[in-house]
Structure 1
């Protein structure tokens, strides 16, 4: 078993807002402090690996987009806090079979954070969760991967509920996705058929930079066939 811990204090030089809107010029520098600690272990004659870690991060003077006199601009928004725990396990079974699992719980919230939604007044977001930030994530996968012959894998992924906006008024439900693949390996080539997002989920996964309340959706079900040659 190995234990690890680290502390980091970072400093990002002040940004200058080159937009056309009236502003104060150079913004305050962004700063952050980060604490992390955990353990890594290998057991059963190397057949299993485990890892667990805790982290906490505080960020100050976050640069955020805003609107000044109907023109886009930048401003220092305030503080944010991130903390959580992450767990992972990797099992190597007989006959080239593998099982992998991971879990993480995150608490990502705004601190003393002012944000202008209308370009006129500021809204205090202290205590609100980050938009698009799920509190829990987990994955579970199985694979059969010998050096020669038939290969296959299946993976399940879970994303917990998350808010779609900074005000925390629109809560999106949790969702799961399934990926799978099959193939065949020879000494000179590998033939594969891969499927991603087999359930064809189309949940919102990221905010669009083109405006408020606009989102990028998950890539639809995708099936790909491929051949890799080894020289």
Structure 2
């Protein structure tokens, strides 16, 4: 939650210029309207040219064009009542990102461009993401120990985008898409604090609609597959979290949440002759598809309801003034639903939807401050079991000679690992921070067509086994202020993009950052020069593979930025 306004008149300007014509500016401030009312605001613009381009049109790729704003009004009618009304809006007109053709085109003579940020897509670079929301928060302190809070919020979003799986100048596998969502939430929270115990409880309500549509334009076959639908969700949950000091050193935490989700879905999937379905034909040049699909693969309406209790229990014990150990167990779940991309002609069970996925997590840890608080150490070991895991399986249809995918409850898996964080004041001026992580993931069971294929699946998607971060910071008194030198190195081991191994899997990545920041003695302004990915490492973060096309998406190259801020 954003910190409360003070009512003081303040204004701050921040800006940045940098590589690839980066131009950022942020204006923020607040002022008191009366003794019991204050208003605050922030407006931000983030602009940057692309790291690459469309070699055919010159349009930027990986650029940034974002404008956002926020305003809030806070009232304190009495000493015990606080109210905030807030609104925000963000408009992201950054170009759609197109992938790098990693292998020669399977349907033509196209080869990989010279830069991993370049492409030759025939699709427009137009892309629009708009989000906005309003909220009302009220907090009433009924007594010294009892507080009631209400949070009412509404949000909406619209997206129009283009995805080109082939990234060449033909519509061999193009995906124009749009998405819309609206949601309303209401939460009532009751907080109580006693001499040796605390309780936070409440009720949470969610109502939302998500809908969208996209074409899979397979120009190499002269057909288009349209997938569209909407999902209405209504969810209500009650929760409580109780903390009790059993002794001066031993504390107990008990918690629980009961959630009921109800979802209803309308899903359509059909094949059209020609390029683009009638829904998208007007947006793109080319031969429009005929108005009627020649094959309806999925067309249904259905609804379902799920209820789930998620408990939590934990202990922490203060071994001495500087060391605490803790243990906890918690259960969680991912809601069930309906697969908007399911092909009922191949897998009729997709119309029944899929059930929630559950997870049980156990954690042991220690927090310590050593050597007169010069070293702060946090270490934890965890183990999570997943059941009724929601997995996407691929099925081949002899009738249509096509692959189709479906989300089903077909899996069991486990994840376990270690996390270590150490912050150290090496000297009064030199500090360091080290974060290490190890994660071991394993699919225990994945049922596809009645067969366990878990041995064919590798690690979890986007879950590197090893991660590390090392940071150093050195403070120097200079120019009637302070100069801070910083450097960091981050490491990520091999990573799998899909659930099963593929050509998109990436190797380890090591990145180096460094910079210097000046803070004025009166705390009014600062100036910073920062460089990221200083060795200009080329690394892939994501990608697609389908019908022989393999395209990748890459992290930012070396960048340098000069940023500054001034407090009026």
Q: CA distance change for structure 1 residues 78 and 213 in 2, over 3 Å: closer, same or farther? A: farther
Secondary structure of the residue that 2:352 maps to in structure 1? Answer: coil
Alignment partner for residue 433 of structure 2, among 92, 100, 112?
A: 100
Q: 1:114-125, aligned counterparts within 5 Å? A: 114=447, 124-125=453-454
User: Aligned partners of 2:386, 2:342: CA distance in 1, in Å?
Assistant: 27
Name the CA shift for 1:122/1:222 in 2 (closer, same or farther; >3 Å): farther
Give the structure 2 partner of residue 218 of structure 1: 555
Equivalent in the alignment of 2:530: 194
Q: Which moved more, 1:91-100 or 1:217-226?
A: 91-100
Following superposition, the deviation at residue 164 of structure 1 comes to: 4.4
* Partner in structure 2 of residue 78 of structure 1: 411
The separation in 2 between residues aligned to 1:144 and 1:210, in whole angstroms, is: 49
Task: Report whether the alignment pairs 1:167 with 2:496.
Answer: no
Residue 48 of structure 1 corresponds to: 375
2:130 is matched with none
**Structure-2 separation of matches of 1:173 and 1:72:** 27
Cross-structure match for 2:155: none
Pairing partner for 1:142 from 457, 468, 472: 472
Please give the alpha-carbon distance, in whole angstroms, between the structure 2 residues aligned to 1:181 and 1:222. 12
Name structure 2 gaps, 5 residues minimum.
1-322, 345-349
Tell me the equivalent position of 1:13: 335
Residues 24-33 or 69-78, more deviating: 69-78
Deviates more, 1:57-66 or 1:22-31: 57-66
Q: Secondary structure at the match of 1:56?
A: strand
Question: Which of the pair has more CA radius of gyration?
Answer: 2
SS at match of 1:201: coil
Equivalent residues of 1:34, 1:56 under 8 A apart: yes
Deviation of 1:146 after TM superposition, in Å, equals 6.0
* Deviation by residue 1:112-167 (Cα, 9 ceiling, x = unmatched): 0246xxxx897712473224422111111101246832111000111112344433
- Mean CA deviation greater in 70-79 or 195-204: 70-79
* 157 and 90 in structure 1: CA distance in 2 versus 1, 3 angstrom threshold: same
Aligned residue for 1:24, secondary structure, equals helix
Give 5+ residue unaligned stretches, structure 1. none
1:183 aligns with 2:517: yes
Retained in 2: the 8 A contact 1:125–1:167? no
Runs of 4+ deviating beyond 6 Å: 120-123, 209-212
Aligned residues: 227
Determine helix, strand or coil for the equivalent of 1:94.
Answer: coil
SS of 1:158's partner is strand
1:23-76 Cα offsets, whole Å, 9 max, x none, are 232212211100111100001221110111100111122323455665554322
**Distance change (3 Å), C-alpha of 1:191 and 1:132:** same
RMSD: 2.8
Distance (whole Å) between structure 1 residues aligned to residue 498 and residue 375 of structure 2? 40
Higher mean C-alpha deviation, range 29-38 or range 179-188: 179-188
1:113 aligns with 2:450: no
Using the TM superposition, name which of 205-214 and 219-228 deviates more. 205-214
Report the Cα offset of residue 17 of structure 1. Answer: 2.8
Match of 2:485 in 1: 152
2:358 is the alignment partner of 1:28? no
Q: Is the 8 A contact 2:445 2:452 kept in 1?
A: no
Deviations 1:164-209 (A, max 9, x none): 4433365633221101111211021110011111111121223459
The 1:156–1:6 alpha-carbon spacing in structure 2 relative to 1, beyond 3 Å, is same
Residues 131 and 168 of structure 1 are in contact (CA less than 8 Å); yes or no, is this contact kept in structure 2? no
Report the TM-score when normalising by structure 2. Answer: 0.37
What is the match of residue 63 of structure 1? Answer: 390
Tell me the TM-score normalised to structure 1 length. Answer: 0.84
How has the CA–CA distance of structure 1 residues 58 and 227 changed in structure 2, closer, same or farther, with 3 Å as cutoff?
A: same
